[in-house]
Structure 1
Amino acid sequence: MGCDGGTIPKRHELVKGPKKVEKVDKDAELVAQWNYCTLSQEILRRPIVACELGRLYNKDAVIEFLLDKSSEKALGKATSHIKSIKNVTELKLSDNPAWEGDKGNTKGDKHDDLQRARFICPVVGLEMNGRHRFCFLRCCGCVFSERALKEIKAEVCHTCGAAFQEDDVIVLNGTKEDVEMLKKRMEERRLRVKLGKKMKKPKAAESVSKPDASEESPGPSKSKTGKAEETAPDSKEKKTSTAHKSAATNGSSSGKAGKRSIAESEESEAYKSLFTTHSSAKRSKEESAHWVTHTSYCF
């Protein structure tokens, strides 16, 4: 069969074959990852933050998302792990002196060089355009190229001097394997934080209950002071009453002591002879009777 004008159709025009898989342009993908916010799809502008999976966001967009989560259904996968502003880290980026931006593109006829980037590595000087692997430190937020961390091995940040560990190094816009590894680290880290909070809660409860218990049942020293402070007037009254009682007992004891010294008293000798302290009661062993007898003077 032919078409109008005597043309002959070809095979690929008549037979339908399998559809070709659309390939994403790598340059466009890199530009989208490194120059646009993952949440709002707007151009990245300072302050720029990064999550624990290494994705870049505008801080304003993250705050708006946390305040109003109506857009969570549309972009749930990109932001499901962000529960609060503490889950993101503000990045300290170094500007690229060769970056001009849109200064010379007033007419719209200027060629955009995709190799140029707004930020660079402060140690090695590599541009952060997606061609090289970059990472940031979760403890301080400083951004470096992975080459800088490998070539200059140190346990301290190259710019601010903050100490960091391997767990604090997070790769920016990494591969699927990097994202899976960072996700495992994030889950382990959050688990440790939850366990730490659970351990602190009973300790705090014990520390709160201890002063209450001490107030209810104070120790020997505290109980005395507490009672003295709480019942100051009563204690004064008790002290005065005890003082009077002690004075009375001392007087009575002195009176008794005076009565006991009968030999010095002015009583008659007949009255004194009734007591054992009298000289007539003090007999020798020969004069004293045996203990079996009726007398009770046994010396």
Structure 2
Amino acid sequence: MGCDGGTIPKRHELVKGPRKIEKVDKNAELVAQWYYCTLSQEKLSRPIVACELGRLYNKDAIIEFLLDKSSDKVLVEAASHIKSIKNVIELNLSDNPAWTGDKGNTKGDKYDDIQSARFICPIVGLEMNGRHRFCFLRNCGCVFSERALKEIKTEVCHKCGASFQDDDVIVLNGTKEDVEVLKKRMEERRLKSKLGKKSKKSKAAETTVKPEAAEDLPTSSQVNTEKDIANMKSGENRSIAFCKSTAVSESPSSSSGKSSKSSSEGPKRSFASRGEKSEAYKSIFTSHSSAKRSKEESSNWITHTAYYF
């Protein structure tokens, strides 16, 4: 009896307790955030970019994501806020001289040190492996550890010298609270940029409308020229009227002047017609008595001059 193959279950097999929650391996999570692209899940390789929420991407993956306009495109939650290439900033990273990479692990029998990272903080020297908080500046893209920015407080970048403010500091792979703060800042910046674009468009429209209205209205120079033309015309009319009046008034005087001229010229003509000439006028000619010589004054030459008489 009892050899029919049946078994009697025990109590712990019948009573099922609550399932244990599987814990995510922190090391695997850190490796996924700091060593792999958030969008394509490939290893991070230069050029590396970061969004305004502090997530790391390969620039090639972002460009392919933006160029993909197909209807069956899967909108990844990690890149839903990226609308253009301007929404990401290329990072200026500092290489870790102690990082060997995959050179010594060609056979796969070498232990990979997770603590060793490819990039470090250029000020303090901390490795960017997720164990320490890192930030980047939105203006220039330079990456530093949060400890370096707190210890050396300045408004100028330690690496390139670009000026920045507190709002320009973005935490890389921060906590949920950090992401919420960064999201609010991102929305505020985008609203300001939209309002700035609208104001620029309105100003441009006003500048285009003003010249059209100015073309319809006469300018001050045109008004002045029209006034000058009107004044010249009125002056010409006055001068014409004045000339006419003077011509009418001067007509009797001119006739009297003509009569006086004729009367004055009359005695001259009569004097010339009479042949009465003065002695000074007569002395000019050789026929005058003063030009004749006496016999004593005349020479004995055979050849006589025109003055020999």
- The TM tier, using the shorter chain, reads 0.7 to 0.9
SS in 1 for 2:77: helix
**CA-to-aligned-CA distance 1:255-293 (integer Å, 9 cap, x gap):** 4124336884658xxxxxxxxxxxxxxxxxxxxxxxxxx
**Residue 134 of structure 1 corresponds to which residue in structure 2?**
134
RMSD over aligned Cα atoms: 3.2
**Residue 61 of structure 1 corresponds to which residue in structure 2?**
61
Counterpart AA for 2:196:
G
TM-score w.r.t. length of structure 2: 0.73
1:198 maps to 2:198: yes
Between 64-73 and 110-119, the greater mean CA deviation after superposition? 64-73
TM-score w.r.t. length of structure 1: 0.75
Deviation at 1:178, TM superposition (A): 0.2
**Residue 31 of structure 1 corresponds to which residue in structure 2?**
31
Between 208-217 and 65-74, the greater mean CA deviation after superposition? 65-74
Partners of 1:157 and 1:72 in 2: CA distance: 43
Asked whether the equivalents of residues 136 and 142 of structure 1 are also in contact (C-alpha less than 8 Å), the reply is yes
SS in 2 for 1:38: coil
When residues 73 and 255 of structure 1 are mapped into structure 2, their CA distance, relative to the original with a 3 A threshold, is: closer
Counterpart AA for 1:122:
P
Partners of 2:127 and 2:160 in 1: CA distance: 20
Deviation at 1:17, TM superposition (A): 1.5
**Residue 123 of structure 1 corresponds to which residue in structure 2?**
123
Counterpart AA for 1:257:
T
- Could you say which structure has the larger radius of gyration? 2
Partners of 1:251 and 1:74 in 2: CA distance: 91
Deviation at 1:198, TM superposition (A): 1.5
Deviation at 1:28, TM superposition (A): 0.3
Asked whether the equivalents of residues 117 and 129 of structure 1 are also in contact (C-alpha less than 8 Å), the reply is yes
**Residue 113 of structure 1 corresponds to which residue in structure 2?**
113
Asked whether the equivalents of residues 39 and 76 of structure 2 are also in contact (C-alpha less than 8 Å), the reply is no
1:257 maps to 2:246: yes
**Residue 150 of structure 1 corresponds to which residue in structure 2?**
150
What percent of counterpart residues are identical? 73
**Residue 274 of structure 2 corresponds to which residue in structure 1?**
none
Q: Which runs of 5+ in 1 are unaligned?
A: 228-237, 268-299
SS in 2 for 1:103: coil
Deviation at 1:3, TM superposition (A): 11
SS in 2 for 1:154: coil
1:165 maps to 2:160: no
Q: Which runs of 5+ in 2 are unaligned?
A: 257-309
Counterpart AA for 2:249:
R
Asked whether the equivalents of residues 54 and 171 of structure 2 are also in contact (C-alpha less than 8 Å), the reply is yes
Asked whether the equivalents of residues 65 and 71 of structure 1 are also in contact (C-alpha less than 8 Å), the reply is no
Instruction: State how many pairs are aligned.
Output: 252
Where do residues 1-299 of structure 1 align in structure 2 (5 Å cutoff)? Answer: 11-70=11-70, 74-221=74-221, 246=236, 250=239, 252-260=241-249, 264=253, 266=255
When residues 26 and 161 of structure 1 are mapped into structure 2, their CA distance, relative to the original with a 3 A threshold, is: same
Deviation at 1:141, TM superposition (A): 0.3
SS in 2 for 1:107: coil
SS in 1 for 2:198: helix
